[in-house]
Structure 1
């Protein structure tokens, strides 16, 4: 069937059919099977709202997921870091770091290329074609229905245009309103987009099978050649009033060959089946077609009839069947059980229509499987037949009728194959639902893992469209679930994307990673020579004294082991900090705004604070001075009252190791808490400084076993404060812990959960899963799933979706 023209809002076929198309927007199905049931009920409610006389063609069009965006991203990263590594004037360590990151990006390119080839991830689009038939006919047609003589249709089209537009807009309004009320909005396609849909229907190679292997595409791209792909024309290639011969050349396949049980289109084999019956009184689980390896394509033609007219026909059929049984009985013939069943079904259906007014829906359902060769096609058709048998669906292959069946799947509102319709109801059509699933990929996003539902890589920008809360990530799971591997994967992903990474390593598990990827590993603690000035915190331009004051208060809380609420002590520390900053010339006394350049060697020291407090008339201030004296001028002064002894200004990867502090293994020791506050203050200062110097570069702060910090008085408040401020500073906070109870039972944990934008829930025990159900809003299905997850697998819980994710990376990257 040829599309002979298009207006600014419609397509027109050669037999006078005017078309408009709607597409169901992608739906966040989530990781739970219950989510699908929820959307099926919504879909049913939408169908039940449609009035008699509604007709449309529902088409499912499969597309192999294009590997090019992912391969292109990692190849671009590889080239970027390769160029940096080869800079003649660059330091050797920076060159080696860039070389390692470049090789990691190359390894990811190869890994994902083979992943696409092995799993061939696909997606599908759900298209609703609405049509208005006008009396326009063309006699000459080729095998496919494309006109040969070029007869002008402009006059006939123009004459029927107003009526067609009015009819289609009315249908669009009815369908859109019903689905919108069900919470399933639709998009109206432009004529160019509709032509693309028709093109895909005419080119089975685009339906569920890539035109070339991802590995070959990766090689072509690496060599600077255009990858060999067959792509549909862009919507801009079509315009209203374009010549129909030009339309034909853009839309039509090159070759079509019909065999007994399959057709070949441009070298691609396709076999069609007619779905004609379903088990009575049981839902037709045809949504499971989406699980077929290699996918499927097809169309359901739906006609919503008048219940009164159909009920009258059913009454006639009921009388006819009953009369037949009476005649057989009078002749002594045993009654047919099948006929009795049919009489019962007809009675039930008629009564439903008469009493409830349930709208009958007549459907014709055509399915096609595609494959690159005949052997694969046989295997795929066997899979289809097996699935249909399992779900109780009756179907038959369209032998010697493959061409009309194929035409019936093309979304132009035509049933080219003569097939008796099947009578259904809106409620029984709930499983005729194949929603487009959203792909979570930001073009500039970092790699998080593989979506187990779509088998597609997930790349999210922490500051992008999918992040409605703060750019804060939290991984929870039992020991051995893979949290540290996940965190190191995020570190490498952030480095490849060009970000800065700063991490706190309490257990000493990151040094090997840091050494391999050219980072600086700084050991913190009394046994090392490195020191951090607890007051080395540059003032924030928005609130110059706020974070420095809060950090000083938190340090004092860590020293004392109890919290310091707002009051005399808090005010005394705030006053001392302001006076010291003014005395150093870092804050303007009149305006309270920062002045001069912040330098670590000019930052205030702890003894400056202690001396101001000691000179105060306030007894609380003098008490605080006594508490801080051992750290500022006493026994511990050599560790806490010195300028920062290292410079990390130009370091892309910095890891602060705490294993010397944690040698005892007791993580709630006061010493560890105090050192943690030193590190956290320095990290915040670096985020501020780097954002001011390079506002376009992302900074990523990684905290492994974050519960050690949460147990510190004021720790949760400090993390919450950082999380809320990080987005504006283009910084992301990544945390991991095995202490799930800290987030479920204690106020400070719940405080952090309230600001976390994305959670990665990994394997836990049944007891922990049950405790997590309400705080994390998990269904019973997801709660049970958490107990079955293996290493490196988890539920990615985002503000508007839950995905099953597997952290898949090449072993040669050294992250395991």
Structure 2
């Protein structure tokens, strides 16, 4: 065992075993480094411009040395500079030469800076920017330095390797606070502020002393920095989310991981599943599955919620029946039929012995066929016409879903409403019935219980006006009941092409975009205020790659899962993790 001398310094304890110095690079221990200094800057830069260099792959240390210039020295030197510029302008005028635009611009900038210095609105600083590039081999180092200089040149930054001064340059990039190169430029306060805070593609970490948040789920790994993307929807202004992606982008895989990890966090989840993609996950965690359209599975839309003692509970049922019948018919009935329907609903409940008295709400509820019979036995022609229009769902091909009392009482920490076995004509109505049952559960639930409602393939409901209105009301009211609505759709046109769809997006604090079709990218870019780079990323995104948008946070990430999670989310254990 090697013993350390008692008088050994810090460098001997933590420093490399050896440093080999060459004119253009250093060999530090087992690695190679080269230092590049920024020597020229464009006339204007944007906020966080070092991010162009920091986002490059590989290890790059960006070092900034700042030394304030005393006010008296700054004023004297600025006066001398203004005098030189003015003398050049006067000399050109005496010689009859045209004014030099660059000299005029420099003189105006100097005058403006002098004015701000005199008012105390700005200060001057000597600033040095150095880049220490690391690589495992000499060949990789040369390529990395070339990439760094090319990236800097793309934003009009001039860079120079510190040839023959690599050792002082390397020492200047270590956390000693010593600038041995002294390759500096004068910056004013505004120009220096563009480097702070150093831009980062990661989500902001907790401030010192705040501690680590207890909630949230893992969404994936940052594609730019390899950092962890950990997001807590329950800490946002509202708990809703929207996921837009074309078919095959991996959205269902991401949603299933979100559901599974939310269950870890004691969130109760209800899912509307149009393709039976969540059944394996539901069975694995001991959830409840209700397969609408399967033999013997019925839902009575006239049921009064058990345990609901609000005085307007029966009125709420009547209003929902108006919405359901409009979805069944594919349109809002004419005014005469709507008036007849409202009277028939009241008469049907009265015939079953149910009134506005909560004591009567425990009696068996009438069925949809009873409502149709009430409509058909009146003298109102509009009522009889509406009864005929309802016949396919009462005694025709679509009656099975409504032909009897409700057969299933959903309960549990995960409830999956499957609509795959429903015909296309009943798909929107089935989703609406499921949403209604979920909302009744959320509306009377304990506010201390967090609930997540996932509406997969929401385009089925959004293409219907009344269904879209119901979903919008649900998204608006969920926050007050500590619930969140996750809208997932592959048809961006249905969501973005209507005012209600735009309102659903506006009420989602968490927005996730995955691979998009070229035909929809322009509208998505305008709706979500995407940059040109973000739009290109969505067009070329691979499976599982996504862009998280939440307020000022914009993070690209790759979905990741453990082996067990992948087996549940993919549905088949040997599927590729990127499978949708």
The TM-score, its normalising length taken from structure 2, stands at: 0.71
Give 1:439's aligned residue. 203
Q: Cα–Cα, structure 1 residues 376 and 356, in superposed 2: closer, same or farther, change >3 Å?
A: same
The residue aligned with 1:501 is 269
Matched, 1:476 2:244: yes
Please name the residue that 1:423 is paired with. 186
Q: Quote the Cα distance in structure 1 between the aligned partners of 2:318 and 2:8.
A: 81
Where does the alignment leave 5 or more consecutive residues of structure 2 unmatched?
Answer: 1-6, 22-28, 87-99, 118-122, 153-157, 206-212, 571-578
Deviations 1:579-632 (A, max 9, x none): 76788788754xxxx669x87x84553355446656777665565455446645
What residue is the counterpart of 2:299 in the other structure?
A: 532
Q: C-alpha displacement at 1:301, in angstroms? A: 0.8
Secondary structure of 1:708 counterpart: helix
Q: Distance in 1 between matches of 2:240 and 2:53?
A: 38
Taking the aligned partners of 1:704 and 1:755, their CA distance within structure 2 comes to 17
Q: How many residues align?
A: 512
Equivalent residue for 1:394, pick from 160, 168, 176: 160
What residue number does 1:660 align with? Answer: 421
Q: Secondary structure at the match of 1:787?
A: helix
**Do the aligned partners of 1:584 and 1:604 also contact (CA within 8 Å) in 2?**
yes
- 1:685 partnered with 2:446: no
Residue 233 of structure 2 aligns to a residue whose secondary structure is coil
Take 1:459 and 1:574, find their aligned partners in 2: how far apart are those partners?
49
C-alpha change, 1:625 and 1:380, in structure 2 (3 Å) is same
For the 8 Å contact 1:773–1:779, the answer to whether it is kept is: yes
Q: Which runs of structure 2 are paired with 1:448-597 in the superposition (5 Å)?
A: 448-464=219-235, 467-468=236-237, 470-525=238-293, 528-536=295-303, 538=305, 539=308, 541=310, 544-545=313-314, 547-564=316-333, 569-570=337-338, 573=341, 577=345, 588-589=356-357
1:366–1:641 CA distance, 2 compared to 1 (3 A) = same
Check conservation: 2:202, 2:229, Cα contact below 8 A: no
Which whole-Å deviations, capped at 9, do the CAs of 1:32-76 have from their partners, x for residues lacking one? xxxxxxxxxxxxxxxxxxxxxxxxxxxxxxxxxxxxxxxxxxxxx
Q: CA deviation at 1:716?
A: 0.4
The answer to whether the aligner puts 1:783 opposite 2:535 as a matched pair is yes
RMSD of aligned alpha carbons: 4.7
Deviation of 1:480 (Å): 1.3
After TM superposition, the structure 1 = structure 2 runs for residues 627-776 of structure 1, keeping only pairs within 5 Å, are 627-628=389-390, 631-632=393-394, 639-649=401-411, 651-662=412-423, 667=424, 669=425, 671-689=426-444, 691-692=445-446, 695-776=447-528
Shift of 1:714: 0.8
Q: List aligned pairs for 1:101-120, cutoff 5 A.
A: none
For the structure 1 residues 621 and 797, does the alpha-carbon distance in structure 2 shift closer, same or farther, using more than 3 Å as the test?
farther
Q: TM-score, normalised by structure 1?
A: 0.53
Structure 1 residues 395 and 345: CA distance shift in structure 2, 3 A? farther
Conservation of the 8 A alpha-carbon contact between 1:537 and 1:684: no
Asked whether the 8 Å contact 1:388–1:395 carries over to 2, the reply is: no
What CA deviation, in whole Å up to 9, does each residue of 1:722-751 have, x standing for no partner? 111222222222222222221233455445
SS across alignment from 1:435? coil
Cα contact 2:516–2:538 (8 A) shared by 1? yes
- The residue that corresponds to 1:30 in the other structure is none
Contact (CA 8 Å) 1:475, 1:737: kept in 2 or not?
yes
Q: 1:346–1:727: structure 2 CA closer, same or farther, 3 Å change rule?
A: closer
Q: CA deviation at 1:718?
A: 0.9
Cα 1:314/1:491, change in 2 over 3 Å: same
Query: Which residue of the partner structure matches residue 40 of structure 2?
Result: 278
Q: Does residue 367 of structure 2 align to residue 605 of structure 1? A: yes
Change (3 A) 1:637 1:291: closer
The secondary structure found in structure 2 opposite 1:475 is strand
